Structure 1
Amino acid sequence: MPRLYEIEGAFRAAIKIEPSGKRTVTTQVFVNELEKVNWHWSLRQANTWIETYVTTFRDVSDQEGEARTFQLFNPNGGL
């Protein structure tokens, strides 16, 4: 049975730290992590959740569509 607190855990598990130190999340990896804890979401549902509940990541996708990339940002002047 899926539990609400597992959604945030799946998001954290989907965060990738690049060699440059940037933290990114792709919608596909987030959906894959959700599947591991019995949440079966579409890419659109995952994007909506990120846009609604995660204020520290912004969309940095370089193409249109539901397969998006989000990156951690600092609203006070740095990335």
Structure 2
Amino acid sequence: MPRYYEIDSAWWASIQREPNGRQTVKTETFVRELAKINFNWSYRQANQWIETYVTVFKDVSPEEGENRTFQLFNPNGGR
């Protein structure tokens, strides 16, 4: 049975850290991590959750579609 408090852990597990320090999340990866904890969400549902609950990642998708790419950014300009 899915537990809503586990969605955060699926989000953190889906963050990919690149050697240059950039942190990104693809919707596909987030949905895969959610499936591991018995949440069978569509890309649309996952994107809606990200847009609602995650404020420090912005959409940097190179193309249109539901499999989007989100990147960590600092809204305070590094302060």
* Superposition TM-score, scaled by structure 2 size: 0.96
Count of residues paired in the alignment: 78
Partner of 2:62: 62
Instruction: Report the AA paired with residue 38 of structure 2.
Output: N
CA distance in 2 between partners of 1:39 and 1:4 (Å): 9
2:8 corresponds in structure 1 to: 8
SS for the counterpart of 1:19 is coil
Q: Secondary structure at the match of 1:70?
A: strand
Look up the equivalent residue of 1:47 and give its one-letter code.
Answer: N
Partner of 1:43: 43
Structure 1: gaps of 5 or more residues: none
Give the letter aligned to residue 10 of structure 1: A
Distance (whole Å) between structure 2 residues aligned to residue 6 and residue 76 of structure 1: 28
State the identity as a percent.
67
What TM-score do the two structures reach when normalised by structure 1? 0.96
Structure 2 segments unaligned to the other structure (5+ residues): none
Query: 1:28: which partner in 2?
Result: 28
Amino acid at match of 1:72: L
Aligned CA RMSD, in angstroms, stands at: 0.7
Letter matched to residue 51 of structure 1: E
Per the alignment, in what secondary structure is the counterpart of residue 67 of structure 1?
A: coil
C-alpha separation in 1, matches of 2:5 and 2:44: 20
